[in-house]
Amino acid sequence: MKWTKTLINTLREDPGDAEIDSHKLLMRAGICRKNGAGLFTFMPLGMRSLRKIEQIVREEMNRAGALEILMPALQPAELWQKTGRWDTMGANMFRLKDRGDHFMAMGPTAEEEVTDLMTNIISSYRQLPVTVYQIQTKFRDETRPRFGLMRSKEFIMKDGYSFDTDAEAADKTYWNMYKAYEKIFARCGLKATPVQADGGDMGDSMTHEFHALADAGEDGIASCPSCGYAANLERAERKIEERNDAECPAYEKVATPNSRTIEEVASFFSLPPTSFVKTLVYVADGTPVMVCVPGDRDVNEVKMKRLLSAKSFALADARTVEEVTGAPVGFAGPVKPAKADIKIYADFSLKGARGMIVGANEGDSHIKNVDLARDASIEQYADIVICGAGDMCPKCGAKMELKRGIEVGQVFKLGTKYSDAFHTVYKDENATEKICIMGCYGVGVTRTLQAVIEQSHDKDGIIWPASISPYQVVIDLLDPDNEEVVKVSDELEKTLEDAGIDVIVDDRQDRPGVKFKDADLIGFTVRVVVGAKGLSKGGVEIKRRDQSKEEMKIVPPDQAFDVIKELLV
């Protein structure tokens, strides 16, 4: 392909709204163009990389035994109403009405749609296990679209769904998909780490997310350098040391005027935040609860939601706090709250805590010398705080590290949540009707493309892995009017193309500097420079994008092919 025959539009300046490197490079290298907030066009260069990623996903899914289908992106509301998600999906789901006044959704995902489809197809155990997948556009009405393809309103996903006869078979399918995902990301040149995650609304059983570790990632991940444990902060657990607090005298009230926050109270008492119990009032499915954590910790609302099996879990408003505690906001505590029967949950590191300072459930007052077991009625102790760096690994006890990740894939055990709702059953060997066990498996295809850029770039531009580079090789043709030079370039182009290596020839009438700059910005895996000066000295210059100038090889034209091939492995 000749540069002048395709449509490449690189930009010199970073777009104003791009906050992270990969977003800037997507635009500057002409991979994408922005159409509106959270909406992007894939330009010819971007399409090539996108199609290569899709092909890798397709090959690995097919190899794992999954079957490709394509379902409509437009989904009838009735399907979503069957599982109640028409209401719970909230404002994130694009909804519309057709001319017959029927509500529809622009699919953000397709569990309902696929379960409905398969319910009408599956009848016998002989058809199972079966996994179907599609590579399809998904829609999400993001509150604040940002980071380019990371949080866009429209994106391409591979979503797969499995149907199995029992839990054991479903388990096998899950790990089969997990392994396929490892291969997919490795082949895309992406370092993706599987981490334990929270199931959220999708189901409550086991799930792993695949994260491309990058500082620009939106998710926090706790990871153990010693044993490899890794979990999304929403889910990450920790080991604690058992407390050995000395007994304390009876508790007493202390006036603490104008001290509400832990910082204010800690400074009032001149004690570290760990001497305090932070008490917050939440509302879980309409019922207020109290949550106690050490003063230097934050409540992990996802863990609490799971602990209570709650559908909704949010901080209480001021009026509810006043009703529950009998005091203005800022003085809640676990000792004798106004609402005597409120359930109080405490972090398990507070078990055996004595000599603590807590809110007095009375304005401008705290209580000191609190023995939590003696003075408060704790419903349950559990791990309910957000993990931090230095927390002990739940598996081996080593100190954990905090990292940031971009979620590029997820595998879920759905269980029977959807098959129950749609009555997806099969007949076993004895003609007994049984419910199908489901799993679902997503890969953010467009997001993966950007995550690769986030992980693989330098100050000059993108560094594409050979497997998904828009063109694996760029030939910078320095003297497009010199017949001899053009002949060498044409021959090399043909040899490469015949060998199935895709190549673009920069045949523009431009200075070498411009060509080198664009080649580096777009980040083609291998760059070959063919010019009159080089040829007169006997060769063409070859270098991989991630190699330094010193590593550049100068070889005679007839050896170029072998050298390029080696660099692409």
Residues lying near Zn ion in the complex (CB under 5 A): 224, 226-227, 229, 393, 395-396, 398
- CB nearer Zn ion, residue 405 or residue 465: 405
Instruction: Enter the tokens of residue 90.
Output: 């909230």
Least distance (Å) between residue 389 CB and Zn ion = 14
Least distance (Å) between residue 260 CB and Zn ion = 38
- CB nearer Zn ion, residue 394 or residue 470: 394
Write out the DSSP string of 259-296. Answer: --SHHHHHHHHT--GGGBEEEEEEEETTEEEEEEEETT
- CB nearer Zn ion, residue 389 or residue 396: 396
Write out the DSSP string of 142-156. Answer: -SS-BTTTTB-SEEE
Least distance (Å) between residue 396 CB and Zn ion = 3
Least distance (Å) between residue 213 CB and Zn ion = 17
Least distance (Å) between residue 306 CB and Zn ion = 22
User: Which one, of 205, 93, 252, 269, lies nearest residue 439 by Cα?
Assistant: 205
Residues in the chain: 569
Are 458 and 195 in contact by the 8 Å Cβ rule? The answer is no
Q: Which helix (H) or strand (E) holds 329?
A: none
Are 149 and 34 in contact by the 8 Å Cβ rule? The answer is no
One-letter amino acid of 202: M
Least distance (Å) between residue 226 CB and Zn ion = 5
From its phi and psi, is residue 361 left (phi > 0), alpha (psi between -120 and 50) or beta? left
- CB nearer Zn ion, residue 35 or residue 226: 226
Least distance (Å) between residue 397 CB and Zn ion = 7
Residue with the two structure tokens 């934050």: 298
Query: What distance in Å separates the CA atoms of residue 360 and residue 325, rounded to the nearest whole number?
Result: 9
- How far is C-alpha 344 from the chain's CA centre? 33
Query: What distance in Å separates the CA atoms of residue 541 and residue 408, rounded to the nearest whole number?
Result: 37
Are 491 and 475 in contact by the 8 Å Cβ rule? The answer is no
- CB nearer Zn ion, residue 137 or residue 226: 226
- CB nearer Zn ion, residue 93 or residue 393: 393
- CB nearer Zn ion, residue 146 or residue 395: 395
- CB nearer Zn ion, residue 44 or residue 220: 220
Query: What distance in Å separates the CA atoms of residue 102 and residue 310, rounded to the nearest whole number?
Result: 31
Least distance (Å) between residue 261 CB and Zn ion = 34
- CB nearer Zn ion, residue 231 or residue 393: 393
Q: Which helix (H) or strand (E) holds 169?
A: helix 167-187
Least distance (Å) between residue 196 CB and Zn ion = 12
Least distance (Å) between residue 222 CB and Zn ion = 10
Half-sphere exposure of 18 (CA within 13 A, CB side): 19
Instruction: Enter the tokens of residue 159.
Output: 């979503």
User: Which one, of 483, 496, 491, lies nearest residue 532 by Cα?
Assistant: 483
Q: How many helices and strands in the chain, by DSSP H and E?
A: 16, 31
Using a CB cutoff of 8 Å and minimum separation of 24, what contacts does 493-497 make? 495/561, 496/561, 496/564
Are 542 and 528 in contact by the 8 Å Cβ rule? The answer is yes
Are 440 and 254 in contact by the 8 Å Cβ rule? The answer is no
One-letter amino acid of 135: I
Are 108 and 155 in contact by the 8 Å Cβ rule? The answer is no
Least distance (Å) between residue 169 CB and Zn ion = 31
- CB nearer Zn ion, residue 294 or residue 394: 394
Terminal C-alpha separation, the chain: 22
Least distance (Å) between residue 40 CB and Zn ion = 40
Query: What distance in Å separates the CA atoms of residue 510 and residue 487, rounded to the nearest whole number?
Result: 19
- CB nearer Zn ion, residue 197 or residue 503: 197
- CB nearer Zn ion, residue 124 or residue 226: 226
One-letter amino acid of 383: D
- CB nearer Zn ion, residue 296 or residue 401: 401
Least distance (Å) between residue 398 CB and Zn ion = 5
Q: Where are the beta strands (DSSP E) in 99-153?
A: 103-106, 130-139
What's 185-235 look like in SS3? HHHCCCCEEEEECCCHHHCCCCEEEEEEECCCCCEEEEECCCCCCEEECCC
- CB nearer Zn ion, residue 65 or residue 220: 220
Least distance (Å) between residue 400 CB and Zn ion = 7
